[in-house]
Amino acid sequence: MQNLLTASQIREVDAYTIINEPVSSIDLMERAAEAFVNKFVSLYTDRPSVIICCGTGNNGGDGLAIARLLFERGYTNIVVWIVRYNNKKTDDFEVNYKRLLTYSIQVQELFPAEQLPSITADVVIDALFGSGLNKPLIDPWRSLVRYINKEAKVVVSVDIPTGMPAEGNMETFENVIIAQDVITFQAPKISFLFPESGKFLKRFHVVDIGLHQGFMASLDTEFCSIMNDDIRSRLKVRENFSHKGTYGHACILAGNEHTMGAALLSAEACLYTGAGLTTVCIPSSGLSALNTRLPEVMALDRSKLSELGTGKYKSLGIGPGLGTGEEIRGCLSELLADDLPPLVLDADALNVVAANKNLLTLLKAETILTPHMKEFDRLFGHSDHWWDRVIKARTEASRRKLIIVLKNRYTFVALPDGKIWVNFTGNPAMASGGMGDVLTGILVALLAQGYKAADAAILGVFIHGKAGDLLAAEGMGVIPASCLIKKIPNVIEDFSSSI
């Protein structure tokens, strides 16, 4: 895992690195500028003309160093804007300013109430404000940002688009640079994970600037990202003398007459994630579809729900395509009061619980809930913005000892210990119906194989997204959920064989 830091934690790590590593503050800025330039030249290979718009803080200092480094790499068409809208400046900005003046790079100073110069360059590099932003932009900075948004062809931001807070509620921050690319230092800013950031940045790229890893890891952070190593260290290799009994019997209660596909997708994903045995509890109207499509999967009649609490099954998933009719509501209330195996609740099971919140109190510790945004809001109340929603997921997960998998482009896994693990795998080709049903099947299979619920959730969301990424890399711009399932064994193989 890698801790994701708030702006004040970034400053802490910055200060710690400077004190404890053989690197001065100005050299760290140089490293950051170098890392930016390396990425920039790999993204924009045709040596575009650039305007570098620099504030007078450390983000601006980065911008000045970037100008110098691009010049040294043969960029000839560089104009540096220095935005002098107040008298503040940092020491490292000042050092880089003096260094810049020894180069024959065109510098233009901008003062309040002056007309803004025209933008003719191919790319504007935005180094106005970085993670030091502590309030929404007002004029004259606001007008400058609006002007750049209106006039620039392409903007590439240094560390974070100017005007965007590094974390917290973004609602009041309306005036933000709209960046094609953001080249950000060391780890993604927490704000990048929320859909609200999508209108201000298309892509972000993380570059390593050598901040102190040990200190970063030691910080008590709310957010961390799921890394490849987290998967490798958790995935168990299938043993030589293992048999189907070794990998558990999973059961999925899902499907209805018109939504049988959801049950089939979940069951198939469960199969492909390696459960020893998979049973799906569906209405009899789905039997011929099941037997035709998934001969490996067994069926349990809907009238035999009491079997689910008998210990026969090692894990249980409830919800995909289940429906929320009176009969389902009644049987779910009874079922959740039973002593059930490790449990995943998804889709309609969540909707039933949302309509009768008392059911939440019946859920055993470590139950996994997999709501998308709307299901989450039905369960825990409406949120106006994602920061609120994610913090609510954290609070509810620790208060109720649940595992809440809040699904989105970047899925948030809120654990009972208060930590939120963020999954970065996955891509927009996966935005199609049935994808969540597949995730449920993956999770139920992992629980059946004996993974602890928190590990199953971390592994499950990663594997799900990674399977989508493999297909996207093969050129699939749209991925039907049933196609993604077939890639799950490849991901598992990739990440477990290297132990």
Ligand X SMILES: Nc1ncnc2c1ncn2[C@@H]1O[C@H](COP(=O)(O)OP(=O)(O)O)[C@@H](O)[C@H]1O
Helices 386-400, 373-380: inter-axial angle, 10-degree rounding = 60
Binding test (CB under 6 A) with ligand X, winner from 407, 419, 466, 487:
407
Which of 35, 55, 440, 468: binder of ligand NPW (CB under 6 A)? 55
What's the closest the beta carbon of residue 111 comes to ligand NPW, in angstroms?
A: 15
- Whether the bond into 136 is cis, omega within 30 of 0: no
Whole-number minimum distance, CB 146 to ligand NPW, in Å? 14
Mark 96-135 with x for binding to ligand NPW (rule: CB under 6 A) and - for no binding. ---------------------------------xxxxxxx
Please say whether the beta carbons of 103 and 74 come within 8 A. no
- How far apart CA 321 and CA 262 sit, in angstroms, is 5
436 binds ligand X (CB under 6 A): yes
CA distances from 156 to 125, 205, 206, 328 (A): 5, 11, 13, 52
The two tokens of residue 25 are: 């503050």
Work out whether 50 is an interface residue with ligand NPW (CB under 6 A): no
- Residue 402 token pair: 């649940």
Are the beta carbons of 315 and 342 closer than 8 angstroms?
yes
Nearer to ligand X, 234 or 407 (CB): 407
Q: Which does 181 bind (CB under 5 to 8 A by kind): K ion, ligand NPW, ligand X, none?
A: none
The contacts of residue 473 (CB under 8 Å, 6+ apart) are none
The tokens describing 446, both together, are 């992992």
Assess 428 for contact with ligand X (CB under 6 A): yes
Query: How many Cα atoms sit within 13 Å of 141 on the Cβ side?
Result: 26
Give 127 or 430: the residue with its C-beta nearer to ligand NPW: 127
Q: For residues 169-198, which are near ligand NPW according to CB under 6 A? A: 185
Q: At 184, phi and psi to the nearest 5?
A: -115, 150
**Binding piece for ligand X, criterion CB under 6 A, among 43-51, 134-142, 155-163, 406-414:** 406-414
Among ligand NPW, K ion, ligand X, none, what does residue 162 contact (CB within 5–8 Å per kind)? K ion
The vertex-30 CA angle with 198 and 108, nearest 5°, equals 75
Of 460-489, binders to K ion (CB under 5 A) are none
The reply, when asked if residue 132 is annotated as ligand binding, is yes
Handedness of CA 292, 294, 298, 301 (dihedral sign): negative
Q: Which is nearer to ligand NPW, 130 or 248 (CB)?
A: 130
For residue 58, give every residue at least 6 positions away whose Cβ sits within 8 Å of its Cβ, in sequence order, or none.
29, 90, 92, 93, 130, 132
Over the window 349 to 388, marking each residue x when it contacts ligand X by CB under 6 A and - when it does not, the resulting string is: -----------------------x----------------
DSSP secondary structure letters along 10-41: HHHHHHHHHHHSS--HHHHHHHHHHHHHHHHH
Comparison of 131 and 370: residue with beta carbon closer to ligand NPW? 131
Q: Binder to ligand X among 6, 25, 411, 449 (CB under 6 A)?
A: 411
Near ligand X by CB under 6 A: residue from 427, 482, 490, 496: 427
Q: What does the binding site for ligand X look like in residue numbers (CB under 6 A)?
A: 347, 372, 407-409, 411, 426-428, 430-431, 433-437, 439, 464-465
Q: What does the binding site for ligand NPW look like in residue numbers (CB under 6 A)?
A: 10, 14, 28-29, 32, 55, 57-62, 88, 90, 129-135, 137, 141, 158-159, 185, 209, 211
